[in-house]
Amino acid sequence: MTMRVLLTGSTGYIGASVLNCLVSSGHRVTAFVRSAKEAESVRSKDVEPAIADLSDRDVLGELASASDGVIHVALPGDETSATADEVAVTSFLIALRNTDRPFVHTTAVWVHGNGMAITESTAMNAPRLTAWRVPLARLVRSTRGVRTSVIAPAVVYGHGGGLLNLVAKGPRTTGNTPALVMVGTGDQHWSTVHVDDLAKLYVLALERAPAGSYFLGAGGENPTVRKITEAVSCSIGLGGRVEAEPVAKTLDRLGPLGEALLLDQQASGDTARRRLGWSPQGPPIFDDIARTDF
């Protein structure tokens, strides 16, 4: 069934892929954007823009009320993120209450902390970077009268975007044969997902997920940071050479993000496959790295 969907973050890395997936699935989209430039970008895709700010409760509520469903992936990405997300989420939930319309929210697999077999039922042990997401996701899932679902993306890659760029732009050692410095020792695993596969999961959740659902957006690959960094090192002309970084230096260099990236995580995303029919088909991470111009 075709829906009028309000999408936040429609010009961001993940949101742009969700937008394309919504359009290709036949949905009509109102794209929440922050500027006239962003409005023109989405209008070129035959999408209706709405210029506003995530702090504007009234506008958020009006846009949600006029929609058949909402997908929320926008985030400022700075110290205002927790406040902005709380304002947006509460505004959407109020606007959609007692309608049974879908609301798809975003958290992150990092909220589960370290784990070798992370599932949706794994206890939360969030690092500082994502700790504020835990109570907000619980609020979303517990709200009655709205068909809520929460997606927890793994480390997202594809089309030259995502955190692989942070790896590629990491420090180099000096000398005639420089090596790419890893995030920490490189022994930790990262759960990963291709951005287009993740976008399909958001759309499936919008269309099919029961109220209160929670899905890990993990494509099934869980390589070590060492293997990822070696592949990136080859891609940028350093011959696969890498060097470990003391944890204290990683934390000093990257702050709270470094704390999250030092987590050792493996997750499968099997619940979304079983319950929603999600079938990740994007290129494997190492194939993607090999053809990316960082």
What pLDDT, in 10s, does the model give residues 227-248? 999 999 999 999 999 999 999 9
Q: What mean pLDDT, rounded, does the chain reach? A: 96
> CA 247, CA 293: separation in Å to the nearest integer?
28
Identify which has the larger pLDDT, 79 or 3.
Answer: 3
Categorize the per-residue pLDDT at 46 as very low, low, confident or very high, splitting at 50, 70 and 90: confident
> CA 217, CA 215: separation in Å to the nearest integer?
6
pLDDT at 16: 96
Task: Check whether 63 has a pLDDT greater than 90.
Answer: yes
**Gap between the terminal Cα atoms of the chain:** 40
> CA 149, CA 207: separation in Å to the nearest integer?
11
pLDDT at 44: 87
Report the range out of 44-58, 68-82, 93-107 with the highest average pLDDT. Answer: 93-107
**Cβ-contact 179, 241 below 8 angstroms:** yes
Task: Check whether 31 has a pLDDT greater than 90.
Answer: yes
Beta bridge partners of 183: none
Categorize the per-residue pLDDT at 78 as very low, low, confident or very high, splitting at 50, 70 and 90: confident
Dihedral sign of CA atoms 116, 225, 234, 17 in order: positive
pLDDT at 52: 87
What pTM was estimated for this model as a whole?
A: 0.97
Q: What is the pLDDT of residues 152-170, one digit of tens each?
A: 999 999 999 999 999 999 9
User: One-letter amino acid identity for 125?
Assistant: N
Beta bridge partners of 30: 6, 48
**Cβ-contact 151, 105 below 8 angstroms:** yes
Q: What is the pLDDT of residues 261-291, one digit of tens each?
A: 999 999 989 999 999 999 999 999 999 999 9
Beta bridge partners of 118: 267
Q: What is the pLDDT of residues 84-143, one digit of tens each?
A: 999 999 999 999 999 999 999 999 999 999 999 999 999 999 999 999 999 999 999 999
Residue 93 exposure: Cα atoms within 13 Å on the Cβ side: 20
Continuous H helices in the chain: 13-24, 36-43, 57-65, 81-96, 133-142, 164-168, 195-208, 225-235, 247-254, 256-261, 270-276, 285-290
